[in-house]
Every structure is written in C-alpha cells, then in structure tokens.
Amino acid sequence: LVNPRQVALKVLSSPKKTNVNVDFLSELKTPSDRNLCTNLIQTANRRSGQIDAIIDRYAEKRPKKLVLAGLKLGITQIHFLSTPPHAAIHETLEALKTFKEISKPQINFVNAVLRAADRGKEGEGEVLGNDVLNLSDFIAGSIESDWGAEVLENVARVYSRHSGGVSLTCRDSVEDFSKELSKREVEHVVGDLGSIYVKNPGSIKRLPGFESGLFWVQDASAALPAIILRNGISQISQNTETPPFVIDVCSAPGGKAMQMGSWGWDVEGVELVEKRAKRMCENIERCKLEKNVKVVVADASQHNFERPPVGFLLDAPCSATGTGRKNVDVMRRQNGAQMEAELIETTKSIWSNCLTWGAKVAVFSTCSLSEAEGEKQVNWILGKGEVRIDMIKEEEVPGFADSIDVRGCLRVFPDDTSPGGRDGFFICRFIFE
C-alpha cells in the first residue's frame, strides 16, 4: 500500500513537479491521506528557500534527488508542520527505505542530518522567521521596489504560509451549493462576494458537484473583474430584457467568461493558445454553459467581431505574481524582466485593437503585483485617449473596499486574513467618452 510520504518523496525528488496534481494523488485511497500528501508537498515547495538554508547548515554536501527529497520532507515536518520530531524522522526514513535505489549509508546520512537539524531548531529563529527567503531575489526585489519592505514581507508571509485551500465560483445559487457541501461534510466558507473557499479540497475532481459542473476553481480576487464589469454595464444600460453581449479578451482557462455566462450573458471569448482554448471548452461543457459562452482561437490584437459588444474584459497576459499562494513557481522566477516587458507590449497592442470594437464599458485586470503591468498600463491607456476611469465604489466590493486606490482602481495584495484569503490583483474600469 502506498502512503502519503512515499508519494511526497516521489514528487519532491522530481524538480519539475512543483504543483500538486491529480495523477499522483489518485494513488492514495483516503481523503485524509490525500490531504496530508498535498500539505507535505505544498509546504515543502512554499518553504523551499528556508528549507534549503537549513539543509545547507547541517549537510556538508548537498545531496541529490531522493536523498535531498528525504531531507526536505523531514525538515518540512519538523520545522514547519509541528510533527513530533521522532515521528517525522522515523516515518521519513521508513518511506525512503521503500525505494530500492536508496542505500543504507544514504539512510544513515538522512537520519544524521535530520537529527542534527532537529537539535539545532531552537537556534534557527533567523531562518524560520524570514519568509522572504522563499522568494527569488528577482521577485523579492521587484515587489520591494514597487511597494516597499512591509508589503514584501507580507506577501512572502502569505505565500509561504498558505494553507492549501482553494476558492470556487458557483454556476448557480451559492447558498444551494454551500448546503450541498455541508451535507457532504466538506469544510468551507462563503466569502463576501459569493466565492466559496474549501479548506482541504484534496482532489478537486472528487469534490461534490464537479462532474455536474456546479463550480469551477477561481480565486475570490479573480472573480472581481466580471462583477465590476457587470456594475459598469448596469449603470449605462437601460435594457434589462436582452442579455448583454460582451467580449472576454484573453479568455482561457475561462473563469471570468463562465462567470458572465452563468448570469445568462452572451459571451465571446478570444484566446490565442489553442490548447488552453480547448481546456476552456471542456470546462464550459462540464458546466453546461455552451449556449452562453463561445470561444474563438485568435490573436486579440488582430481579431474583430461582427457586432459591437456593450463591454469587454481584458484580463491581460501577465507575470502572475499575484498568484504565488497556489503557483509556487512564480515565487522563484529568476530574471523575469524581459518577459514582463514583452507582456506589457502585448497588452498594449491588444488594448489598441479592443478600442475599435465599439464597446461602451471596459475592464482591464491583471493578476500581477507589478506596477508596470497595472497602474502604469492605466497611465498609458489614459494617454491613448477615448476612455476615462470609471471609479470603483466601496459598495461594489464588500470586503475589498480598503484596496481601492486614489484613482478608483482596485489594487489587491495577497492576503490570508479574510476567509480563504485572496490572490493579488489589479483592476480598473473604463467608460468610453
């Protein structure tokens, strides 16, 4: 029988597998085993900078693959998950022994390093209290230069300590879905704007309502741009009979398009990458929203539509640094400056094309923490003309009112104090003049 630590060792010894995926979790039979395994892997990945610092201190030479994974797994439990050290070391060694490529001297080495690290734990305050170690120098530097040391520390803390839960957007009634989850004893919280946070999802596909398309995974912050577009459209449109026609620009994996489709809107998504569009179509089908949401595979900086939309939502391709809670790879990215500069140019050319569609309201959003990808893009958009900012009002965004900046845009920082926490996001609504 496979146990959670064996699966965790397999994943941690393969450097490319940083995100938990369903394939290996399916080797485990019970929800509690899947949750433990997810927690071990995610904590080891989120805390990798701190764990590396501890390994460097107690291991004379940095080992490779499974032996290294054994050290990471042991330190994760001893230093970050409050597992009693004796049990953490014993269970880690037992799991390691089940791999035939592991030798006796390697087991002894892991045992010795973990015991020394445990003995030295009290003196590791500097490493254990320094969450910024888990971000690459590039990411830490760019957050600090935009927002200062306090925001950097907070972001690093939220990313390093995320509990692993996920937020969902519901296709139908949030209350009914919440009742269904309670009936099935799935621990969850309903957020201010209707997102549902599930604390220990284990495998998403096994949650009640997945097959019947009652929900999709979408962070509470990521659900805001569509809500803000809806408020903008309702301010200018007297027509409550015909569902609004909107374009969802840069659409895959489709969370926002499906959200708007679930309101009965007529949505056309435009997505450049065929594979991503295909996955989006599968999601639309699963959620039975085909009548409302269509997707075209095209370059949004070139593509045009036959009829004018009342509004569009441009969720720009970006460096995604707001999503580090679930996407540990973004925390470690080195030298992202070139990529960021290219994404900014792509977004500008997409915006220029969107201006020709005849919309009346637009929302620009990005899940990046970078000022250059958010606030500074808004400066460029305003300089280009045709639109003015339509300020987001406090009553539109309960729970997020503190994030409204002086211009009426929303700058949300990653957070873990609200129910379920939230990713970082930037949102601005424009109205055509």
Ligand X SMILES: C[S@@+](CC[C@H](N)C(=O)[O-])C[C@H]1O[C@@H](n2cnc3c(N)ncnc32)[C@H](O)[C@@H]1O
Q: Which residues are annotated as part of the binding site for S-adenosyl-L-methionine?
A: 250-256, 271, 299, 315
Comparison of 69 and 267: residue with beta carbon closer to ligand X? 267
CB of 264 to ligand X, least distance (A): 18
Residue ranges for the known binding site are 250-256, 271, 299, 315
Cβ distance to ligand X smaller for residue 46 or 303: 303
Site string for ligand X, 382-401 (x = CB under 6 A): --------------------
SS3 160: helix
* Positions 287 through 316 that interact with ligand X (CB under 6 A): 299-301, 315
CB of 302 to ligand X, least distance (A): 8
Residue nearest to ligand X (CB): 250
Which two tokens mark 376?
């500074």
Query: Of 226-285, which residues contact ligand X (CB under 6 A)?
Result: 250-256, 270-273, 276
Sites for ligand X among residues 325-364 (CB under 6 A): 346, 350
Residue 271 pairs in a beta bridge with 297
Number of residues lying near ligand X (CB under 6 A): 20
Q: Indicate the residue among 268 and 315 with the shorter CB distance to ligand X.
A: 315
* 43 binds ligand X per the rule CB under 6 A: no
- The catalytic position among 170, 281, 318, 367 is 367
DSSP 25: H
Q: Which is nearer to ligand X, 96 or 270 (CB)?
A: 270
426 to 376, 417, 430: CA distances (angstroms): 11, 19, 13
Pairing relationship of beta strands 425-432 and 410-412 according to DSSP bridges: antiparallel
Report in angstroms the alpha-carbon separations of 262 from 12, 119, 241, 245, 293.
39, 55, 16, 13, 9
Q: Determine if 95 is a binding residue for ligand X (CB under 6 A).
A: no
Q: Smallest distance, Å, CB 425 to ligand X?
A: 10
Q: Positive or negative, the Cα torsion across 391, 416, 14, 204?
A: negative
d(C-alpha 59, C-alpha 378), whole Å: 49
Side-chain half-sphere CA neighbours of 358 within 13 A: 7
Q: How far is the CB of 367 from ligand X (least distance, A)?
A: 6
* Rounded Cα distance, 312 and 295, in Å: 14
**Least CB distance to ligand X at residue 373 (A):** 11
Closest by CA to 161, choosing from 414, 425, 424, 366, is 414
At closest approach, how far in Å is the CB of 19 from ligand X?
16
Least Cβ distance, residue 278 to ligand X (angstroms): 12
Nearest to 284 by CA among 306, 301, 260, 312: 260
Q: Name the pairing type of β-strands 245-249 and 266-271.
A: parallel
Q: Which is nearer to ligand X, 228 or 250 (CB)?
A: 250
Closer CB to ligand X, residue 78 or residue 397?
397
Using CA atoms, how far apart are residues 60 and 353, in angstroms rounded to an integer? 57
In this complex, which beta carbon is closest to ligand X, that of residue 86 or of residue 384? 384
CB of 73 to ligand X, least distance (A): 33
Q: 30's torsion region: left (phi>0), alpha (psi -120 to 50) or beta?
A: beta
Q: Which is nearer to ligand X, 20 or 316 (CB)?
A: 316
Q: CA nearest 301: which of 290, 284, 289, 317?
A: 317
Question: Letter for the amino acid at 250?
Answer: C
What b-and-e string marks burial along 28-38, b requiring 16 or more CB atoms within 10 Å of the CB?
A: beeeebbbbbb
Contact assessment for residue 102 and residue 95, using Cβ atoms and an 8 Å cutoff = no
Handedness of CA 396, 402, 404, 410 (dihedral sign): negative
367 is catalytic: yes
Identify the CA nearest to 377 among candidates 350, 339, 406: 350
- Name the H helices within 287-354: 337-354
Contact footprint for ligand X (CB under 6 A): 250-256, 270-273, 276, 299-301, 315, 317-318, 346, 350
Residues marked as catalytic: 367
